[in-house]
Every structure is written in C-alpha cells, then in structure tokens.
Amino acid sequence: MTGDSQAGFCARLLRVLADHTRLRVVRMLLDGERRAGEIGRRLGIEKTLLSHHLRVLREAGVVVGRRVGKSVVYSLAPAMRTTAQRAAIDLGCCRLQFDQDGTPAGTSAAKREGTAQ
C-alpha cells in the first residue's frame, strides 16, 4: 500500500471509530466474542441502533460476525491485532489503547464524563 492509500485507509478507519458507541463495542470485543443481544444489553441500546453500528464496523473490517443458531456472534476481525493485555488494537497506521475503565487512553476525565467545554 502506498503512503497515500495507507493514509486514506487510516482516515476512513478512524472516522468509523470516532463514534462513542462503536468504540464501546470494540472495547467490549477486546475481551472476546459476544452475541449481538448481549452487546445491546450491556450497552443499553436498541437493536436497530446496535445493528447500524455493527454494520458500519463490519463494512470497515473492524469486526466479523458468524451465525450461531438464531444469534450472531461478533468478534474483532483478525486484521485488528490486539495487544497481549487485550487493552489495545493495532490499526496498522496507529494503535488505539483503552484505559482500564474502557475509554480510549489519553481522553481527559472531563471528556469521559461529558463535561468538557
């Protein structure tokens, strides 16, 4: 991949991950695969909204889904290499690391709490 195409790929991937709900899904999947229903319950979001976010993540190559009976089980795509501590993913162009509370590392407390100006 050339430098320009790598930069374009990285920019598209970072746009996908710029959404708070999608970041929460990725963080949850760092701990292992999950059924869609469990993801929705743990995040407290409706099926239709979760379906939208999972589709965006699938189309970007961040997650993969496989059908198990009537459920779909999601996991991080093999291309999303994780660290040994499962606290970060290597996107190829950069690394996204999560703090222990599940927020991206380097995010200020005010931003995490939604009180940033």
More confident position, 51 or 97:
51
Query: What is the C-alpha to C-alpha distance for residues 66 and 90, in angstroms, rounded to an integer?
Result: 23
pLDDT confidence of residue 89: 85
pLDDT in tens, 21-73: 999 999 999 999 999 999 999 999 999 999 999 999 999 999 999 999 999 99
What is the residue-averaged pLDDT of the chain?
84
pLDDT confidence of residue 14: 92
Residue 93 has pLDDT above 50, yes or no: yes
- What token pair was written down for 67? 């059908």
Residues facing residue 72 across a β-bridge: 67
For the entire predicted model, the pTM comes to 0.79
Angstrom distances, CA of residue 1 to CA of 38, 103, 107: 37, 30, 31
Residue 105 has pLDDT above 70, yes or no: no
pLDDT confidence of residue 88: 85
Mind listing the domains of the chain with CATH numbers? 3-113 (1.10.10.10)
Report the run of H or E that residue 17 belongs to, with start and end: helix 3-17
Query: What is the C-alpha to C-alpha distance for residues 6 and 40, in angstroms, rounded to an integer?
Result: 32
pLDDT confidence of residue 110: 43
Contact 75, 57 (CB under 8 A): no
More confident position, 93 or 51:
51
Contact 89, 26 (CB under 8 A): yes
